[in-house]
Amino acid sequence: MGKTDFLSPKAIANRIKSKGLQKLRWYCQMCQKQCRDENGFKCHCMSESHQRQLLLASENPQQFMDCFSEEFRNDFLELLRRRFGRKRVHNNIVYNEYISHREHIHMNVTKGLLRLEVINKYTAVVKLIDSGDKLKLDQTHLETVIPAPGKKVLVLNGGYRGNGATLVCINEKTFSATILIESGPLKGRHEDVPYEDISKQA
Q: Please tell me the CATH code under which domain 152-200 is placed.
A: 2.30.30.30
pLDDT in tens, the chain (202 residues): 455 677 788 877 776 666 555 556 677 877 878 787 888 888 988 899 888 888 887 788 778 778 877 887 788 888 888 888 877 777 777 777 877 776 666 555 555 555 666 676 667 777 766 667 787 777 666 655 678 899 999 888 788 888 889 999 998 888 889 999 998 888 999 999 988 888 887 6
Residues of the chain with CATH 1.10.10: 60-141
Q: How many CB atoms lie within 10 A of CB 119?
A: 11
Provide the pLDDT for residue 25. 67
Residue 75 contacts residue 105 (beta carbons within 8 Å): yes
60-141 adopts what CATH topology?
A: Arc Repressor Mutant, subunit A (1.10.10)
Distances (CA, A) of 157 to 65, 161, 199: 30, 5, 10
Q: How many CB atoms lie within 10 A of CB 36?
A: 13
Provide the pLDDT for residue 192. 92
What is the reported pTM?
Answer: 0.42
d(CA 101, CA 143): 35
Residues of the chain with CATH 2.30.30.30: 152-200
